């Protein structure tokens, strides 16, 4: 499991470095537990580095992105998830809003079936400068006892 995630991250990093070898890349890894439940009535489970949905209904989480280079869009974002629902997917939206929180850029990705998966976004071409950035993920309900879907971590690669 961990080897697969490391391999994906290494491949993503090498691809980005090859595409922009003249520039240094900044890679920031965040635990899934840095995400917060969206809405006042949702109950997500925080454990070490993950955030999981242990309820019998779909729930959403907001994962903040603290940018280090606010004058350019990110090169890539990778969200590492574990989908344990037989018919529903983990769906995430990467968002870049302008300073007022209005217009901006967004991209949506979903898992495909059950298992550990990586949702890759970007590059964020035309993203507003300095605005708030976030990932919003919808996590399916827990289908079997003690077997929730979850976000394990997310990575932001900036130019």
CATH number of the domain to which 109 belongs: 2.60.120.260
Average pLDDT over residues 122-144: 89
Position 29 scores a pLDDT of 92
Position 159 scores a pLDDT of 80
DSSP string, 66-79: --S-TTS--SEEEE
Say how many C-beta atoms besides its own lie within 10 A of residue 134's C-beta.
Answer: 15
72: which 2 tokens? 């350019």
If one counts the domains in the chain, the total is 1
**Residue 104 DSSP symbol:** E
Say how many C-beta atoms besides its own lie within 10 A of residue 17's C-beta.
Answer: 14
Position 84 scores a pLDDT of 96
Return the bridge partners of 121, or none: 77
**Residue pLDDT, tens place only, 20-43:** 444 568 898 999 999 999 876 668
Average pLDDT over residues 45-52: 92
Q: Check pLDDT > 90 for residue 130.
A: no
- State the residue range of the domain holding 49: 2-158
pTM of the shown model: 0.82
**Residue pLDDT, tens place only, 80-93:** 999 999 999 999 99
Coil, helix or strand at residue 12:
helix
Closest CA to 65 of 91, 100, 26, 103: 26
Tokens 């979903």 map to which residue? Answer: 110
């Amino acid at each position: 499991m961990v080897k697969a995630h490391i391999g994906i991250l290494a491949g993503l990093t090498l691809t980005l470095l090859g595409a922009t070898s003249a520039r240094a890349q900044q890679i920031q890894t965040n635990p899934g537990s840095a995400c917060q439940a969206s809405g006042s009535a949702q109950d997500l489970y925080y454990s070490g580095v993950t955030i999981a949905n242990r309820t019998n209904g779909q729930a959403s989480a907001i994962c903040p992105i603290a940018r280090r280079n606010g004058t350019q869009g990110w090169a890539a974002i990778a969200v590492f998830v574990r989908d344990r629902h037989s018919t529903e997917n983990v769906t995430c939206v990467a968002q870049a809003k302008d300073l007022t929180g209005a217009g901006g850029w967004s991209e949506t990705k979903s898992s495909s079936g059950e298992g550990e998966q990586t949702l890759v976004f970007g590059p964020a071409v035309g993203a507003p400068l300095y605005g708030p950035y976030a990932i919003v993920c919808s996590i399916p309900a827990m289908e079997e006892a003690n077997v929730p879907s979850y976000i394990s971590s997310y990575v932001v690669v900036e130019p």
